[in-house]
Amino acid sequence: MTPTIAVLLIITFVLSTVGLLLLIWSIANNQFSHGQAAARTIFSPGEEGHSEDPARPSDLPFTGDNSEQAAAIEARWAADQSSRTAILTWLSSSVFWLLLGSFFGLASSIKMHFPEFLAASEFLTFGRVRPVHLNAVTYGWASMAGIGVALFLIPRLFKTSLAGGKYAVLGGFIWNIGLVLGLSAITLGLSDGEEWLEFPWQVDLLFVVGGALCAIPLLLTAANRQVEHLYVTSWYLMAALVWFPILFLIANLPFAFPGASGATVNWWFAHNVLGLWVTPIGIGIAYYMIPKILGRPIISYQLSLIGFWSLALFYSQVGIHHLIGGPIPTWLVTLSIVHSVMMSIPVITVAINHHGTMMGNFGRLKDSPTLRFVWIGALMYTVSSLQGSMEALRSINVITHFTHYTVAHAHLGMYAFLSFILFGAVYFIMPRLTNWEWPWRRLISLHFWLVSAGILIYVVSLTVAGWKQGVALLNAAMPFLDIVKMTLPALQARTLGGALMTLGHLVFAFHFIAMLMRHGAATEQPTLFRPAIKETTQ
Amino acid sequence: MKRALAIMVGAALILLLATLTLVVMPYLQMSAEQVPPDLKPYTEQQQRGRQVYIANGCVYCHSQQPRDPSFAPGDKARGWGRPSVPGDYAYDKPHLLGTMRTGPDLFNIGARQPSIDWQLMHLYNPRAIIKGSIMPSYPFLFRHVEEPAEGDKVVNIPPPYGPESGKIVATDDALALAEYMLALDHTYPAPTLPKRQPKSDQPKE
């Protein structure tokens, strides 16, 4: 080991230790110890024990036992209405990008086992359709839906109206323009060339501006807040909105990082988009939705804050596990592997809270669409994160790297975790904004089963085939083309799974539009997966 | 507001720490890395071919980073070459290391398939050469002419993959991409590749 590397290593360890000490210091000094009082801030006075859910059983919604409580519920309704235009801008756009991204994903999948499909046009060649899919679903669907849900949660968490909502609307328009330009650029062959960073850097500026405009209402609303405690969801949302612009700006600095160091920046960014942008949004939403629907606070508030800071400390340094075995310094890879394994700490704390809160309430999954989507999403967060920690180990990574296994893992995270939580949140939010119930409960059910079957087929087939592919690649005795042929059935199964998911998205989008156009009847009874227990009609 | 600000500042500081360790330090270390003397900068045409490679997303199926045989024995045994070192990528802007091996690693494709005719034919239709390949064909990088003009690069496609009449000629983009493929030849020795330590770990100096 050369002295330089030793010094570098020592610096990283010192810095990490300082971070850890700060964490311990803040716990010791009661920075975190609001205990369960803070966990209860999501409830209106007197609301605890009552479920808030579009899919509540046939008893009447909680409206307060006295005038004070009723006023609080009324204020929350006003807070929901205050953010309507801003939320609908972001959510409607996200549904559009979800559909577009799904079709491009499906086309990429078909091309993998039917290479002549749409191959004549340079604009629809595999190498352009695939990044259009990734960017449309990441920056279009997941990011826009995530910001939309955040705009809904922020006024609720701070118990005040959304201030400066018009900045978020403007930001939404700019973000959409960025997507149109960026995806067109990829289609025209003007990609910047690095995965997750394909948009030309000139276009990326629009995302930085659009995202920054969303930070304005966040800050204004935080300044007006009427609650003493900041609930853990707002920690995640605030941090995510701080992290994303920094990440995006540094990673897109033009001409700054050549060659192998460019690869480290590339994967530092790409994994942080997952870890520090969409993950905190997804976890944050689950931290709100699960206790809100169950009407009981999360089981350990302290644990949730430890989970937050350890996520920040560890997740931010895992990116280089994408380059294990690559042409970069070993200390760097080792650092990322260590942090990847350490990620099991925040994952387990979050799991204890999410699933522990669910204990004894699993029956609610039968009737509540939001709870079913969100809890399955939370469960898949636990699964995909622990899988990710394993995948970072050298002995596993040597097999799974460069294979379809990684693709399955990515979809387990971005889809089964994040998108499921976003679906659930949209089912929760829309009735609150439009004062209208979802028109057809069967469509929610259909959506759920289509996307669940789809992602199951997708993940299982590619995980198995990817593992076999990885094992075979290590042994040169098996010719490369035989490996390709071995994976073909899984690639075809992926098209089936992807088609089911796309179909599910069409159902979802149709229902979303019907909701916006106020189809169906205004009902007193909330939309359930199953009809609510029949009221006695003697 | 104070607490909200504290969370945001804390979050930003943690990210800056990660930036320091994963962006700044690797950059400092790797940009000081020696460039192998046998590595040639790309010509203008190869650089253009590299842009064609980027525009058509070859990176989504092909890596350019063989791993150490003691770690992943398949890479070298398949003829993909010695493990790569940071210096090998000194002229790569942006990097094209890749994360997928739906197709083979291309770090040394120029050494494995040094014929430009092979490269062009394979780009026009991979199945004309390799039955069962799932690589897309790139007909839009070629022109179909009845009579090739002076200076046109004719690509002879075996039936039934070629046109019934006339000839297939390569566009400038196809030629540039093929030249870039041929430039992917890193068979020279890497001076910075760490020497394998002898089993009995001798004190270093």
Q: Quick one: tokens of B182?
A: 């041929």
Residues in Cβ contact with A376 at an 8 Å cutoff, skipping those fewer than 6 apart:
A416, A420, A452
Q: Please state the domain count of chain A.
A: 2
**In chain A, what percentage of residues exceed pLDDT 90?**
56
A316 token code pair: 């931010």
Task: Please indicate if any CB of chain B lies within 8 Å of the CB of A321.
Answer: no
Per-residue pLDDT of A307-348, as tens digits, reads: 888 899 889 889 999 999 999 988 889 889 988 988 888 999
State whether the Cα torsion B41-A320-A267-B71 is positive or negative. Answer: positive
Closest CA relative to residue A113, chosen from A465, A506, A363, A522: A465
Residue B88 included in any domain: yes
Closest CB from B12, B126, B136 relative to A111: B136
Are B52 and B4 part of one and the same domain? no
3 state DSSP class of A34: coil
Residue of A8, A194, A242 lying closest to B29 (CB–CB) = A8
For chain A, what percent of residues have pLDDT higher than 70? 88
The pLDDT value recorded for residue B165 is 87
Q: What is the DSSP letter of B193?
A: S
Q: CB of B140 within 8 A of CB of A122? A: yes
- Is pLDDT above 60 for B200? no
The confidence score (pLDDT) of residue A61 equals: 65
Across the interface, whether the CB atoms of B11 and A488 are under 8 A apart is answered: no
> Confidence class of residue B107 from pLDDT cuts 50, 70 and 90?
very high
**CA gap B105, B107 in Å, rounded:** 6
- pLDDT at B184 > cutoff 70: yes
Whether B22 maps to a domain, the answer reads yes
Question: B73, B63, B58: which is closest to A472 by C-alpha?
Answer: B73
- The answer on A444 and A360 residing in a single domain is yes
Short-list B62, B7, B169, B89, CA closest to A259? B89
Chain A's closest residue to B15, CA to CA, is A316
Whether B101 is covered by a domain: the verdict is: yes
Residues B109 and B58 both lie in one domain: yes
Is residue A26 assigned to a domain? no
B164 burial via Cβ count (<10 Å: 0-12, 13-18, 19+)? exposed
- Residue B146 belongs to domain with CATH number: 1.10.760.10
Q: What is residue A29's three-state secondary structure?
A: coil
Q: Verify whether the Cβ–Cβ distance B63 to A402 is below 8 Å.
A: yes
Residue B160, exposed/middle/buried by CB under 10 A (0-12, 13-18, 19+)?
exposed
Cβ contact B137–A115 (<8 Å) = yes
Averaged pLDDT score across all residues of chain B: 89
Higher pLDDT, B77 or A9: B77
By C-alpha distance, which of A201, A125, A198 is closest to B56?
A: A125
Q: Please, are residues A357 and A326 in contact by the beta-carbon 8 Å criterion?
A: no
A188: domain CATH number? Answer: 1.20.120
Per-residue confidence (pLDDT) for residue B201, from 0 to 100: 45
Q: What is the pLDDT at residue A377?
A: 97
Where residue B34 falls among pLDDT bands split at 50, 70, 90?
confident
* Contact (Cβ atoms closer than 8 angstroms) between residue A364 and residue A294: yes
CATH of the domain at A397: 1.20.210.10
Domain presence at residue A235: no
Query: What would the mean pLDDT of A156-183 be, rounded to a whole number?
Result: 94
Q: What is the DSSP string of A421-483?
A: HHHHHHHHHHHHHHT---S-HHHHHHHHHHHHHHHHHHHHHHHHHHHHHHHHHT-TTS-HHHH
Contact between A451 and A417 (Cβ < 8 Å): no
Closest residue in chain A to residue B205, using alpha carbons only = A2
Same domain, A358 and A500: yes
Interface of A with B in 472-491 (CB under 8 A): 473-476, 480-481, 484-485, 488, 491
Same domain? For A275 and A217 the reply is no
Which chain A positions have a beta carbon within 8 Å of B61's beta carbon? Answer: 126-127
Cross-chain CB nearest to B23 (options A16, A268, A403): A268
Longest dimension (CA), chain A: 86
Q: Enumerate the β-bridge partners of residue A402.
A: B100
Q: What H or E segment, with its residue span, contains residue B169?
A: strand B167-170
* Residue B200 is assigned to a structural domain of this protein: no
The reply to whether B113 and B137 lie within a common domain is yes
Contacts of A253 in chain B (CB under 8 A): none
pLDDT category at A218 given cuts 50, 70, 90 is: confident
pLDDT band at A459 (very low <50, low <70, confident <90, very high): very high
Count of beta carbons in the 10 Å neighbourhood of residue A487: 24
Q: What is the pLDDT of residue A51?
A: 78
Cα A183 to Cα A100, A187, A279, B55: the distances in Å are 11, 6, 24, 13
Query: What is residue A473's predicted lDDT score, i.e. its pLDDT?
Result: 95
Q: Identify all chain B residues contacting A274, using CB atoms and an 8 Å cutoff.
A: none
Both A291 and A195 in a single domain? no
The mean of the pLDDT values for chain A is: 88
Whether B78 sits inside 8 A of A195 (CB atoms) is: no
Q: Is the preceding peptide bond at A280 cis, omega within 30 degrees of 0?
A: no
Comparing A163-167, A181-185, A300-304, B162-166, the range with the smallest average pLDDT is A300-304
Going by C-beta distance under 8 Å and a sequence separation of 6 or more, which residues neighbour residue A344? Answer: A385, A386, A389
Nearest residue of A to residue B99, measured between CA atoms: A402
Instruction: Clarify whether residues B80 and B175 are in a common domain.
Output: yes
DSSP-assigned states of every residue in A236-258: HHHHHHHHHHHHHHHHT-TT---
> Does the pLDDT value for residue B64 go beyond 90?
yes
Under a CB-based contact definition with an 8 Å cutoff, are residues B98 and B64 in contact?
yes
The pLDDT assigned to A48 comes to 81
Q: What are the backbone dihedrals phi and psi of residue B168, each rounded to the nearest 5 degrees, phi first?
A: -100, 125
> Looking at chain A, which residue has its C-alpha nearest residue B192?
A327
Residues A212 and A275 in one domain: no
- Shared-domain flag, residues B97 and B75: yes
User: Quick one: pLDDT band at residue B202, thresholds 50, 70, 90?
Assistant: very low
Contacts (Cβ under 8 Å, ≥6 apart) of A371: A53, A55, A289, A290, A293, A294, A364, A365, A424
In whole angstroms, give the CA distance from residue B10 to residue A190: 37
What tokens appear for A353 in the block? Answer: 């809270």
Work out the average pLDDT over B61-76: 93
Are A485 and B132 within 8 A, CB to CB?
yes
Interface test with A, best of B5, B9, B25 (most A CBs within 10 A): B25
Least confident of A12-26, A206-220, B146-160: A12-26
Same domain flag for B95 and B177: yes
Among A128-137, A252-261, A333-342, A343-352, the range scoring the smallest mean pLDDT is A252-261
- CA of A246 vs chain B CAs: smallest distance (Å): 8
**Res A419: pLDDT:** 97
Residue B141 has pLDDT above 70, yes or no: yes
Q: Is residue A140 one of the residues assigned to a domain?
A: yes
pLDDT tens digits along A406-420: 999 999 999 999 999
CB-based burial of residue A30 (10 Å sphere; 0-12 exposed, 13-18 middle, 19+ buried)?
Answer: exposed
User: Are B72 and A11 an interchain contact pair (Cβ–Cβ within 8 Å)?
Assistant: no
Q: Which of A238-242, A428-432, B32-36 has the lowest mean pLDDT?
A: B32-36
- With a CB-CB cutoff of 8 Å, which residues 407-426 of chain A face chain B? 407
**Among A493-507, B23-37, B108-122, B162-176, whose mean pLDDT is lowest?**
B23-37
pLDDT score of A198? 93
Chain B residues within 8 A of A486 when measuring between CB atoms:
none
Same domain as B50, residue B142: yes
8 Å CB contact between A227 and A45: no
Residue in B with minimal Cα distance to A261: B27
Give the span between the Cα atoms of A306 and A351, in whole angstroms. Answer: 13
Q: Both B148 and B178 in a single domain?
A: yes
Fill in the amino acid letter for B122.
H
The shortest CB-CB distance from B27 to any of A234, A261, A313 is to A261
The pLDDT of B139-165, averaged and rounded, is 90
Residue A15 lies in a domain: no
Q: A400 and A457: one domain?
A: yes
Backbone phi and psi for residue B155, each to the nearest 5 degrees, phi listed first: -115, 120
pLDDT of the residue at A54: 57
Q: Do B156 and B66 belong to one domain?
A: yes
The residue count for chain B: 205
Task: Taking residues A140-163, report their average pLDDT.
Answer: 93
Q: Is the pLDDT of residue B3 over 80?
A: no
Question: Does A15 contact B27 at a Cβ distance shorter than 8 Å?
Answer: no
Q: Which of residues 115-174 of A touch B (CB under 8 A)?
A: 115-116, 119-122, 125-128, 130-131
Pinpoint the alpha helices (H) of B39-164: 44-55, 73-77, 109-112, 116-124
More confident residue, A64 or A31: A64
pLDDT for position A523? 56
* Nearest CB to A120; choose among B12, B22, B139: B139
Residues A348, A223, single domain; the answer is no
Positive or negative: CA dihedral A129, A132, A134, A137: negative
Amino acid at A302: Q
- SS3 state at B131: coil
| Per-range mean pLDDT, top range of A197-206, A248-257, A488-497 | A488-497
Range of the domain at B110: 33-183
From A16, A128, A238, residue closest to B8, measured CB to CB: A238
pLDDT for position A252: 85
What pLDDT does residue B203 have? Answer: 45
How many Å apart are CA B99 and CA B60, to the nearest integer? 7
Rounded (5°) CA angle A320-A322-A323: 75
Same domain assignment for residues A156 and A281: no
In a domain, B116, yes or no: yes
Residue A22: inside a domain, yes or no? no
- Residues B1 and B166: their CA atoms lie apart, in Å, by 74
Pairing of β B142-145 and β B154-155? unpaired
- The model's confidence at residue A519, banded by pLDDT at 50, 70 and 90, is confident
Question: Span A181-199, mean pLDDT?
Answer: 94
Same domain, B23 and B105: no
- How many domains does the structure of chain B reveal? 2
The identity of residue B174, as a single letter, is: A
Quick one: which of A182, A336, A345 has its CA closest to A270? A336
Contact at CB, A326 and B54, closer than 8 angstroms: no
Full residue range of the structural domain in which residue A183 is found: 67-228
SS3 A536: coil
**Residue A124: CA count within 13 A, CB half-sphere:** 15
Do A290 and A208 share a domain, yes or no? no
**Residue A537 — very low, low, confident or very high, per pLDDT cuts 50/70/90?**
very low
How far apart are the CA of B25 and the nearest CA of chain A, in angstroms?
7
What amino acid occupies position A511?
A: H
Q: Out of A230, A255, A316, whose CB is closest to B14? A: A316
Which residue among B31, B85, B139 sits closest to A327, beta carbon to beta carbon?
Answer: B85
Query: A249 Cβ partners below 8 Å, 6+ apart?
Result: A208
Dihedral angle, C-alpha A148, A151, A157, A161, nearest 10 °:
-140
